[in-house]
Amino acid sequence: DAGKPVWVESTHPAASEVRLSTFTDAVGPANEANPYADNLMFIGDSLDALRILAEVPEFRREYRGKVKLVYIDPPFNTGETFTHYDDWMEHSTWLSFMRDRLLLIKELLAPDGSAWVHLDDKELHRMRSLMDEVFGPDNFVASVVWQKSDSTRNDAKGLSIDHDTILVYRRSSSWQLNRLPRTAQS
């Protein structure tokens, strides 16, 4: 079936094929003396972009172990078909897909950095276990629940789901929440 992921062994040639990510341009002001340093935009698979940042010497020097925060909004694995992709994989394939990315994200994070992963209920419990594996259960910070709609849906087949969750993990115990000072309005 076209568009569906196919599992191959790590020794299979497709597992190590070179894929191109396009470095399109800088976004906003950029450091012309060091074009690898800031305001970059990549178009391509997130795994390829993460590999470039973590492994290509010019980018690795700037980013590996120095990123303060990574926010990702991965495929939710809803089982739906969208215009540009099918959003469904076997659970084990989805977990492998996510694990590869999380391991690179962990390499990029500074000791006081954090990873924020946005999901709905479909894979949330599996992602929590995977993030415990990658970052360690002691580095779990919180499950941030946010309401994604202003009202419940009366046409829901079961319970009306009106929220998503963001799992927050720190790289290490040196991470501190950067609180804003309280004001009379807050």
pLDDT tens string 69-122: 999 988 877 767 777 667 677 878 888 989 999 999 999 999 999 999 999 888
3-class SS shares of the chain: helix, strand, coil, % to 5 = 30, 25, 45
DSSP state of 61: H
> C-alpha angle 67/68/70, rounded to 5°?
80
Residue 86: helix, strand or coil by DSSP? strand
For the record, the structure tokens of 48 come out as 């390829």
Residue 1: pLDDT band by 50, 70, 90 thresholds? Answer: very low
Enter the pTM of the model: 0.77
Residue 63: pLDDT band by 50, 70, 90 thresholds? Answer: very high
Look at residue 38 and tell me whether its pLDDT is greater than 70: yes
Q: Check the CA dihedral 65-131-102-125 and report its sign.
A: negative
User: What string of DSSP letters covers 148-182?
Assistant: -SSS--TT-SSS---EEEEEEEESSTT----PPPP
Percent of the chain surpassing pLDDT 70:
76
In this prediction, residues 22-28 reach a mean pLDDT of: 61
For the record, the structure tokens of 40 come out as 């970059």
pLDDT tens string 64-78: 999 999 999 888 777
Work out the burial of residue 175: count CB atoms within 10 Å of its CB; fewer than 13 is exposed, 13-18 middle, 19 or more buried. buried
